[in-house]
Structure 1
Amino acid sequence: MTALRYDALDLPVRAALPALRTALEGPGSAVLCAPPGTGKTTLVPLALAGLLDGPDGAGERRVVVAEPRRIAARAAARRMAWLLGEKPGERVGYTVRGERQVGPRTRVEVVTTGVLLQRLQRDQELSGVDVVIIDECHERHLDADTVAAFLVDVRAALRPELRLVAASATTDAEGWARILGDAPVVEAQGIAHPVEVVWAPPARPVRPPHGMRVDPALLTHVASVVRRALAERAGDVLCFLPGVGEIARVAGQLGDLGDVEVLQVHGRAPAAVQDAVLAGGERRRVVLATSVAESSLTVPGVRVVVDSGLAREPRVDHARGLSALATVRASQAAGRQRAGRAGREAPGAVYRCWAEAEDGRLPRFPAPEIKVADLAAFALQTACWGDPDAAGLALLDPPPAGALAAARDVLAAVGAVDAATGRVTGRGTRMARVGLHPRLARALLDAAPLVGTRRAAEVVALLSEEPPREYGDDLAGAWRSARRGGDGYAARWRTETRRLAAAAKDASSRADAPEETSWSEDRVAGTVAALAFPERVARAVGGGVYLMAGGTRAEARQGSALAGAEWISVAVADRPVGAGHARVLLGGHIDEDVARRAAAPLHSEGDEVAWSGGDLVTRHVERLGAVELTVRPLKNPDPALVREGLLAGLREEGTGLLKWSRGAGELRERLAFLHLRLGPPWPDVSEEALYARVDEWLEPELSKARRRADLGRIDAGQALARLLPWATGEATRLDELAPERFEVPSGSRIRIDYSDPEQPVLAVKLQEMFGLAETPRIAGGTAPVVVHLLSPAGRPAAVTADLASFWGGGYRAVRAELRGRYPRHPWPEDPATAAPTRYTKARQAQKEAQREAGQRGTGG
Structure 2
Amino acid sequence: MIDEVRLDLPVRAALPSLGAALDEHGTAVLVAPPGTGKTTLVPLALAGSVAGRVLVAEPRRVAVRAAAARMASLLGERVGDRVGYAIRGERKPGSRVEVVTTGLLVARLQRDPELAGVGAVILDECHERHLDTDLALAFAVDARVLRPDLQLLATSATAAADRLATLLEGPVVTAPDPLHPVDVVWSPPAKPVPPPRGMRVEPALLDHVGATTRRALTEADGDVLVFLPGRREIDEVARRIGGVDAEVLTLHGGLDAAQQDAVLAGSSHRRIVLATAIAETSLTVPGVRVVVDAGLSRRPWTDHARGLDALVTVLASQSSATQRAGRAGREAPGVVYRCWSEAEHAHRDRDDAPELAQADLAGFALQLARWGTPDGSGLALPDPPPATAFGTARELLRGLGLVADDGITDRGRAVATAGVHPRLGRALLDGAAAVGEKTAVEVVALLAAEVPGDSDDLAERLRTVRATNDPRWRTEVRRLRQTSGERDTTQAERAGKMPQASLGETDRPGRDRPAREKHTRHATGSRNLPDGALGETEAPAAVVALAYPDRIARARGQDAREFLTTGGTGVELAAGSRLRGQEWVVVADAVRGPGDRVAKVRLAVPVDEDLARWAAAHLHADDEVVAWEDGDVVAERRERLGAIVLARRPLKSPSREAVAAAVRKGLQEEGIDLLRWTDEATSLRRRLAFLHAARGEPWPAVDDASLLARTDEWLDLARVRRRADLGRTTPHLTALLPWPEAGRLDELAPTHVTTPDGRRVRVDYTAPGRPTVALKLQHAFGWERAPVLAGVPVVVHLLSPAGRPAAVTADLASFWGDGYRQVRADLRGRYPKHAWPEDPQHQS
Scaled by the length of structure 2, what TM-score is found? 0.93
In the other structure, the counterpart of 2:512 is none
Task: State the Cα distance separating 1:630 from its structure 2 match.
Answer: 1.1
Distance 2:547 2:529 in 1: 21
Which of 785, 792, 797 in structure 2 is aligned with 1:783?
A: 792
The change in CA–CA distance for 1:506 and 1:192 in structure 2 (over 3 A counts) is closer
Task: State the Cα distance separating 1:813 from its structure 2 match.
Answer: 2.1
Which of 716, 719, 722 in structure 2 is aligned with 1:707?
A: 722
2:452 is the counterpart of 1:439: no
Distance 1:723 1:389 in 2: 50
2:757 is the counterpart of 1:746: yes
Matches within 5 A, 1:209-224: 209-224=196-211
Letter in 2 for 1:822: Y
In the other structure, the counterpart of 2:477 is 497
In the other structure, the counterpart of 2:355 is 369
Letter in 2 for 1:111: V
Distance 1:225 1:366 in 2: 25
Distance 2:242 2:258 in 1: 21
Task: State the Cα distance separating 1:574 from its structure 2 match.
Answer: 1.3
In the other structure, the counterpart of 1:67 is 58
Q: How many pairs were matched up?
A: 807
2:540 is the counterpart of 1:518: no
The change in CA–CA distance for 1:739 and 1:514 in structure 2 (over 3 A counts) is closer
Task: State the Cα distance separating 1:514 from its structure 2 match.
Answer: 13
2:185 is the counterpart of 1:198: yes
2:152 is the counterpart of 1:141: no
**Identity percentage over the alignment?**
58
2:263 is the counterpart of 1:277: yes
Distance 1:678 1:384 in 2: 64
Matches within 5 A, 1:312-327: 312-327=298-313
Contact kept in structure 1, 2:2 and 2:44, CA below 8 Å: no
In the other structure, the counterpart of 1:847 is none
2:556 partner SS: strand
In the other structure, the counterpart of 1:857 is none
In the other structure, the counterpart of 2:153 is 165
Contact kept in structure 2, 1:68 and 1:141, CA below 8 Å: yes
Which of 786, 798, 815 in structure 1 is aligned with 2:807?
A: 798
Contact kept in structure 1, 2:530 and 2:610, CA below 8 Å: no
Which of 90, 97, 100 in structure 1 is aligned with 2:88?
A: 97
In the other structure, the counterpart of 2:544 is 529
Task: State the Cα distance separating 1:2 from its structure 2 match.
Answer: 8.9
Q: Which runs of 4+ in 1 moved over 4 A?
A: 1-4, 508-517
Task: State the Cα distance separating 1:796 from its structure 2 match.
Answer: 1.5
Task: State the Cα distance separating 1:533 from its structure 2 match.
Answer: 1.6
In the other structure, the counterpart of 2:78 is 87
In the other structure, the counterpart of 1:180 is 168
Contact kept in structure 2, 1:196 and 1:348, CA below 8 Å: yes
Contact kept in structure 1, 2:58 and 2:125, CA below 8 Å: yes
2:263 is the counterpart of 1:252: no
Which of 37, 40, 44 in structure 1 is aligned with 2:38?
A: 40
Which of 217, 238, 243 in structure 1 is aligned with 2:225?
A: 238
Letter in 2 for 1:704: R
Distance 1:616 1:2 in 2: 78
- Greater mean alpha carbon deviation, residues 551-560 or residues 604-613: 604-613
Which of 411, 423, 426 in structure 1 is aligned with 2:410?
A: 426
Q: Once the two structures are superposed, what CA deviation does each residue of 1:818-858 show, in whole Å capped at 9, x if it has no partner? A: 333333332233322333xxxxxxxxxxxxxxxxxxxxxxx
Distance 1:829 1:505 in 2: 112
Distance 2:630 2:827 in 1: 54
In the other structure, the counterpart of 1:856 is none
Task: State the Cα distance separating 1:617 from its structure 2 match.
Answer: 1.5
Q: Once the two structures are superposed, what CA deviation does each residue of 1:201-252 show, in whole Å capped at 9, x if it has no partner? A: 1111111112211111111111111000001001000010111111111111
The answer for unaligned runs of 5 or more in structure 1 is: 51-57, 836-860
2:736 is the counterpart of 1:723: yes
The change in CA–CA distance for 1:3 and 1:683 in structure 2 (over 3 A counts) is closer
Distance 2:813 2:562 in 1: 71
Letter in 2 for 1:500: L
Q: Once the two structures are superposed, what CA deviation does each residue of 1:244-265 show, in whole Å capped at 9, x if it has no partner? A: 11111111111111x3111110
Task: State the Cα distance separating 1:286 from its structure 2 match.
Answer: 0.4
The answer for unaligned runs of 5 or more in structure 2 is: 496-520, 522-527
Contact kept in structure 2, 1:433 and 1:507, CA below 8 Å: yes
Distance 1:709 1:74 in 2: 72
Distance 1:311 1:607 in 2: 49
2:462 is the counterpart of 1:462: no
Distance 2:26 2:68 in 1: 24
2:332 is the counterpart of 1:346: yes
In the other structure, the counterpart of 1:228 is 215
Which of 832, 846, 850 in structure 1 is aligned with 2:841?
A: 832
In the other structure, the counterpart of 2:68 is 77
Letter in 1 for 2:535: S
Distance 1:568 1:448 in 2: 21
In the other structure, the counterpart of 1:812 is 821
1:130 partner SS: strand
Task: State the Cα distance separating 1:578 from its structure 2 match.
Answer: 3.8
Task: State the Cα distance separating 1:515 from its structure 2 match.
Answer: 14
Letter in 2 for 1:424: I
Between 1 and 2, higher relative CO (CA 8 Å, sep ≥ 6) is seen in 2
Distance 1:515 1:342 in 2: 60
In the other structure, the counterpart of 1:587 is 604
Task: State the Cα distance separating 1:590 from its structure 2 match.
Answer: 0.9
Task: State the Cα distance separating 1:712 from its structure 2 match.
Answer: 2.9
Letter in 1 for 2:761: I
Contact kept in structure 2, 1:149 and 1:393, CA below 8 Å: yes
Contact kept in structure 2, 1:620 and 1:631, CA below 8 Å: yes
Contact kept in structure 1, 2:51 and 2:119, CA below 8 Å: no
In the other structure, the counterpart of 1:689 is 706
Distance 1:184 1:266 in 2: 35
Task: State the Cα distance separating 1:812 from its structure 2 match.
Answer: 2.1
Contact kept in structure 2, 1:745 and 1:771, CA below 8 Å: yes
2:829 partner SS: coil
Q: Once the two structures are superposed, what CA deviation does each residue of 1:796-821 show, in whole Å capped at 9, x if it has no partner? A: 11110011111122122222333333
- Greater mean alpha carbon deviation, residues 689-698 or residues 335-344: 689-698
2:572 is the counterpart of 1:561: no
2:260 partner SS: helix
In the other structure, the counterpart of 2:369 is 383
2:142 is the counterpart of 1:153: yes
Contact kept in structure 2, 1:452 and 1:514, CA below 8 Å: no
1:820 partner SS: helix
Contact kept in structure 2, 1:137 and 1:171, CA below 8 Å: no
What is the CA RMSD across the aligned residues, in angstroms? Answer: 2.0
Contact kept in structure 2, 1:451 and 1:517, CA below 8 Å: no
2:578 partner SS: coil
Distance 1:735 1:437 in 2: 72
Task: State the Cα distance separating 1:494 from its structure 2 match.
Answer: 0.7
